[in-house]
Structure 1
């Protein structure tokens, strides 16, 4: 995120990620990195139709 703020968008203060609910390793890593689960949803379009994901947010 430091790279993103420094080289892409210095005003960015909120980051989103949506790992699959069946990927506990990814969820654990994002939790350790400071992301918080705020929602769970099922994709209704695109390549991941029918997949459940956890929406996770980190605010700097």
Structure 2
């Protein structure tokens, strides 16, 4: 039973690492998008920014759970 707990903790640690990587990548993409895309339709730009921020918040929520 101790091995089951150790294995589960290992899986949880790996999942947290994956979530942290996804959050970091999402932030990187958002920052890149904000720097590069200045001529895009303002409504489309805002929609993409909002979607990226919502994804980051969702990933952070999953990480907290």
The verdict on a shared fold, with TM-score over 0.5 as the criterion, is: no
Greater RCO (CA < 8 Å, at least 6 residues apart):
2
Question: Which one has the bigger helix percentage?
Answer: 2
The structure number with the bigger radius of gyration is: 2
Question: Which one has the bigger strand percentage?
Answer: 1
